[in-house]
A = this chain, B = another copy of it.
Amino acid sequence: MLPSTRSLAVEWGVSRTTITLAYEQLIAEGYLEVRQGARARVAQGVGAPRSPTKRQASPTPPGHLSAFARRLEGFVAPSSPADRVPGVVDFRYGDLSVEDFPVLAWKKAIDSALLRRPARLRYGDPGGLPVLRDALQGYLWRARGLRCEPEQVIVVNGSQQGLDLCARLLLDPGDRAVMENPGYHLARQALGATGAEVLPVAVDDDGLRTADLPPARLAFVTPSHQFPLGGVLPAGRRRELLAWAQHHDAHVIEDDYDGEYRYDISPIPSLLSMDEAGRVIYLGTVSKTLSPTLRLGYLVVPPGLSHLFSRAKRLTDRHTPGLEQEALATLIASGAYERHVRRARRRNGERRAILLSALAATLGDTVTVIGAEAGLHVVVWLNGLARDQEGALIARARDAGLGIHPITPSYAPGPPMNRPEMAGLVMGYAGLDAPAIERGTRLLRDVLRDFVRG
């Protein structure tokens, strides 16, 4: 039983109101109990001694983890921001130059979205804002020759979320999924995280070798520009892949991650535009055209799967942020997005030309460069260097202030399949200006020469 508010107020020399407020707070938090007409008393269970358990210093967290969590633990650790090269030139693939971002157009579009002031602030449609789904439908038709209904477009937080949704909706533990080898390692992880068995299938100069496809539930492909090797999947193989999906009652994820960037020829039509049986899920993104930090991407799913992807998106995170969706819709509808893509294509074409001449002039036939027809990266095979020296070379380069990145993580774990014997790099150029590209190429030559000499 506690003292009355009156006696406590006298004892502490404060007003009775203060004591009453303090009591009310303690009652609200459950430390005190009060019965009708009686004085407050300490609530049951509160006076109990503290649990003797000490905070565990062990790095192993207590508690049960799911099989999904244990699979994540087993994947190769991602590079952390702390691994970033502090030095001069970083050829990391995926980075874009801040100079290319249309700051003013984006700012204007966000501001006008902010000032539009809807009637209420409320959760939006899980599949995306209707205005953006309409705009994307038009864009996909104009830019990629792709016909779909707006309801088939599902707006996601970048293509990684699209991959994760596909994996969760289409794969069970023990199912089989086909993956390009080499291929995009975060796609391999997204498929594998479900507990499905991910079957690597070899890639050649024309992309995935579709003649050898094993039975599976799902295939992941990059038909416009195979990542990382750069092949374009020929029409015959596309047919073969679609027939395989039909035969095995499977789906195909078409990751069109850089379909906007082709330099010598027009963009390649999408696999989806050949799909008559509703097997293909198309994956697009603005991470290569605007910025990877915006986290905006989209799926085009078969009509029968649209409601399911919407439901999954809702359960996952309700919907993609509203202001960004409105801003992108404004940019596409006004034509500013496509003007921007043309400008970005021209600038990246210039960077590519500079990198290719710098590599040819500086490194000559010590390297073999492939996959340069499209995209924002090239693969550079180091002819004089064995595969197992890749890691050591990269560490040496890092010390010299040069960021280079190995091709090895693109290959499936386990014994290498169909892979050249030499070390290889994936070199992105979209984040660098001309002087940096040239300086970086010279640095690579110096590091490589010192490394080979020992």
Are A123's CB and B311's CB within 8 A?
A: no
A235 within 8 A of B: yes
Which of A6-14, A111-119, A335-343, A386-394 is near enough to bind chain B? Answer: A111-119
Query: 0/1 per residue, A53-92, Cβ < 8 Å to B?
Result: 1111011111111111100110100101100000000101
The answer to whether B172 touches A66, judged by C-beta atoms less than 8 angstroms apart, is yes
Tell me the complex Cα distance, A431–B119, Å.
9
Q: A121-B292, A249-B64, A316-B160 are in contact. Are A56 and B322 (CB under 8 A)?
A: no
| A204 within 8 A of partner (CB) | no
CA distance in complex: A121, B94 (Å): 9
For residue A198, give the distance in angstroms from its CB to the closest CB of chain B.
Answer: 14
* Contact assessment for A63 and B107 in the assembled complex, using a CB-CB cutoff below 8 Å: no
Expressed in whole angstroms, the Cα–Cα distance for A252 and B270 within the complex equals 46
Decide: A62 near B122, CB < 8 A? Known: A164-B316, A235-B30. no
Of the candidates B24, B217, B303, which one forms a contact with A264 in the assembled complex, judged by CB atoms under 8 Å apart? B24
Q: Are B45 and A311 in contact (CB under 8 A)?
A: no
Segment among A185-193, A410-418, A446-454 that sits at the interface with chain B = A185-193
B239 touches A29 (CB 8 A): no
Query: In this assembly, does A441 line the interface, its C-beta being within 8 Å of a C-beta of chain B?
Result: no
- A83: min CB distance to chain B, Å: 12
Q: Cβ of B55 and Cβ of A276 under 8 Å apart?
A: yes
Chain B residue with the shortest CB-CB distance to A166 = B66
Cα A63 to Cα B251 in complex, Å, equals: 7
**A369, CB-defined interface residue at 8 Å:** no
Interchain CB contact under 8 A, A51 and B321? no
A305 proximity list for chain B (CB < 8 A): 61
Give Cα distance in the complex from A157 to B156, angstroms: 12
CA distance A189 to B126 in the complex (A): 15
Chain B CB within 8 A of A19 CB? no
| Interface check A350, CB cutoff 8 A | no
| Residue on B nearest A81 in the bound complex, by CB | B125
Interface segment, one of A240-248, A353-361, A376-384: A240-248
A233 on the interface (CB 8 Å rule)? yes
Of the candidate stretches A96-104, A135-143, A419-427, the one touching chain B is A96-104
Secondary structure call for the A interface: loop
* A237 close to chain B: CB less than 8 A: yes
A365 within 8 A of partner (CB): no
Asked if A373 lies at the interface with its beta carbon under 8 angstroms from chain B, I say: yes
- Is A160 in contact with B318, judged by CB distance below 8 angstroms? yes
* Cβ contacts under 8 Å, A308 to chain B: 61, 65, 69, 72-73
Contact between B31 and A235 (Cβ–Cβ < 8 Å)? yes
Closest Cβ of chain B: how far from A87's Cβ, in Å? 12
A30-B234, A51-B276, A268-B29 given; A315·B67 CB < 8 A? no
Q: Is A277 within 8 A of B55, CB to CB?
A: yes
What are the residues of chain B within 8 A of A126 when measuring CB–CB?
78
Q: A161 contacts which chain B residues (CB < 8 A)?
A: 316-317
**Is A435 an interface residue when CB atoms closer than 8 A count as contact?**
no
Given the complex of chains A and B, what is the CA–CA distance between A248 and B214 in angstroms? 44
Contact present for B265 and A28 (CB under 8 Å): yes
Known: A158-B318, A164-B317. 17 other contacts (CB 8 A): A28-B262, A28-B373, A29-B234, A46-B236, A61-B304, A61-B305, A63-B170, A63-B279, A64-B250, A66-B175, A80-B125, A96-B121, A98-B117, A157-B321, A160-B315, A160-B317, A186-B314
Query: Closest 5 interchain pairs by CB?
Result: A30-B234, A45-B236, A61-B304, A293-B322, A161-B317
Chain A interface (Cβ within 8 Å of chain B)?
21, 24-25, 28-31, 43-46, 48, 50-51, 53-56, 58-69, 72-73, 75, 78, 80-81, 90, 92, 94-98, 101, 103, 106-107, 110-111, 114-115, 117-126, 156-158, 160-161, 164, 168-172, 175, 186, 189-190, 193-194, 206, 217, 232-240, 242-243, 245-246, 249-251, 262, 264-266, 268-269, 276-279, 291-296, 302-305, 308, 311-312, 314-324, 373, 431
- Please list 7 pairs of residues, one from A and one from B, whose beta carbons are closer than 8 Å in the complex, sorted by A's number: A53-B276, A64-B217, A72-B308, A73-B308, A78-B126, A123-B293, A294-B321
